[in-house]
Amino acid sequence: MMIAYVTPAKRMDRRRALAALHVRPARHRERQTSWVLLPDPVTVPRIRRQVRRQLDAWKAGTCCDVVELLVSEVVTNAMRHSWGAVMTVSLDERTLRCEVQDTNPAMPQMRQAHEGDEGGRGMILMEALSRDWGSYGVPAGKVVWFEISLDEEDAAA
């Protein structure tokens, strides 16, 4: 498993971050990567670029736009509501899975967004664009995850 860091101006001790957060192993270790995410304005755009590069390396690039949008949603929420997170992306057969574990134990809740609201649409996007999604509690917070089915040409690569 490869771990990369998205670091803000303030550095965080790597051992402390990894000890606090759980990473679920993929069946194929060569097709799993994780990033430690720290609250910083550049984290979300930077992690979108890193995910796109990783998907291209795995030859799973046709699903990039949807994955980038959903990654933006889950990472933005993690950055708003916790001090940091670990994001793991894994590819098994024809399924791409993204998990974001943060330190906030509060589970996401579906809510009705009104016309002028800035937020409140993330769960609706997850429901509409992912094959499956959910969340579960862990001792250090929670994990929010989604899965995307790959196209036939991606799965053959």
The sign of the CA dihedral 29, 48, 36, 24 is negative
Strands 95-102 and 141-149: antiparallel
Share of the chain above pLDDT 90, in %: 48
Q: What is the pTM of this model?
A: 0.77
Q: Are 102 and 155 in contact (CB under 8 A)?
A: no
SS3 139: coil
Name the DSSP letter for residue 93.
T
Place domain 2-21+28-156 in its CATH homologous superfamily: Histidine kinase-like ATPase, C-terminal domain (3.30.565.10)
Q: What is the mean pLDDT of the chain?
A: 78
Over residues 56-110, the pLDDT tens digits come to 999 887 888 999 999 999 999 999 888 889 999 999 888 999 999 999 998 886 6
Read off the tokens for 143.
Answer: 């994990």
d(CA 153, CA 115) in angstroms, rounded, equals 39
**At residue 150, does pLDDT exceed 50?**
yes
Q: What share of the chain is helix, strand, coil (3-state, %, to 5)?
A: 40, 25, 35
**At residue 124, does pLDDT exceed 90?**
no
**At residue 123, does pLDDT exceed 90?**
no
**At residue 113, does pLDDT exceed 70?**
no
At 108, the amino acid letter reads P
**pLDDT of the residue at 2:** 44
Lowest mean pLDDT among 48-57, 113-122, 135-144: 113-122
Q: Are 71 and 130 in contact (CB under 8 A)?
A: no
pLDDT band at 119 (very low <50, low <70, confident <90, very high): low
**pLDDT of the residue at 18:** 44
pLDDT band at 14 (very low <50, low <70, confident <90, very high): very low
**pLDDT of the residue at 114:** 58
d(CA 102, CA 66) in angstroms, rounded, equals 22
**Spacing of C-alpha 114 from chain mean position:** 26
CA–CA distance from 19 to each of 32, 51, 85 (Å)? 19, 23, 12
**pLDDT of the residue at 79:** 92
